[in-house]
């Protein structure tokens, strides 16, 4: 009789929040890291109300599709992952309570954003994840590469590349970059 030893997750449920504009290989690596420590994961799509802007070109629905398709492609167990869009909350002093009211209960928050860590209460474990090549794998860099007609496809999972191409996202990013309107700055 073979004895199978199953690795026990350190935490029941982790949470990671990001804009995912677009979801890229650094995000994918981050989810691998978190799923090695947690049984389940909540992926919160922040600034969900913003789209068709130079900084936020993709809709919340498109970002959900990017994440879901990438995790499916990587054969993650999607029954253990929640993907939740979350609109910004104007009162920063109450932001963490708002976050908790909008998502399932979680044990640990993963964030590389110092401000998010600052706004989060001490009642939760907060961990700064290890980022791989943060300069290269970040949404702003990828959007700049797309705007400059440079190679970007290898920085995102294949399903994200396909989604961006299928929704004409390259042209969208290039048009938005030339726009003189900045509606999210009002």
Short-list 37, 182, 184, CA closest to 109: 37
Residue 87 has a pLDDT of: 97
pLDDT recorded at residue 182: 57
Predicted pLDDT of residue 135 = 79
- Domains present along the chain, CATH in parentheses: 13-179 (3.40.50.620)
Residue 31: the pLDDT is 96
φ, ψ for residue 54, nearest 5 deg: -55, -40
Q: Tokens 């932001």 correspond to what residue?
A: 95
Return the half-sphere exposure (C-beta side, CA atoms, 13 A cut-off) of residue 83: 21
Q: Is the peptide bond before 22 cis (omega within 30 degrees of 0)?
A: yes
The pLDDT of residue 184 = 53
- Residue-level pLDDT at 2: 47
pLDDT in tens, the chain (186 residues): 444 445 567 999 999 999 999 999 999 999 999 999 999 999 999 999 999 999 999 999 999 999 999 999 999 999 999 999 999 999 998 999 999 999 999 999 999 888 888 888 777 899 988 888 877 899 999 999 999 999 999 999 999 999 999 999 999 999 999 886 655 544
């Amino acid at each position: 009789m073979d004895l199978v030893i199953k690795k026990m997750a350190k935490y029941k449920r982790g949470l990671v929040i990001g804009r995912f504009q677009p979801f890229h290989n650094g995000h994918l690596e981050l989810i691998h890291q978190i799923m090695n420590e947690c049984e389940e994961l909540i992926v919160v799509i922040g600034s969900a109300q913003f789209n068709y802007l130079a900084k936020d070109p993709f809709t919340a629905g498109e970002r959900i599709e990017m994440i879901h398709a990438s995790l499916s492609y990587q054969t993650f167990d999607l029954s253990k992952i929640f993907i939740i869009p979350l609109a910004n909350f104007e009162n920063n002093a109450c932001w963490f309570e708002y976050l908790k009211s909008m998502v399932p209960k979680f044990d640990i928050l993963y964030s590389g954003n110092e401000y998010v860590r600052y706004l989060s209460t001490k009642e939760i474990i907060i961990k700064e994840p290890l980022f791989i090549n943060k300069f290269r794998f970040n949404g702003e860099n990828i959007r700049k590469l797309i705007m400059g007609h440079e190679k970007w496809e290898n920085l995102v999972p294949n399903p994200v590349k396909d989604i961006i191409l299928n929704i004409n996202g390259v042209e969208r990013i290039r048009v938005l970059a030339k726009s003189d309107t900045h509606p999210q700055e009002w």
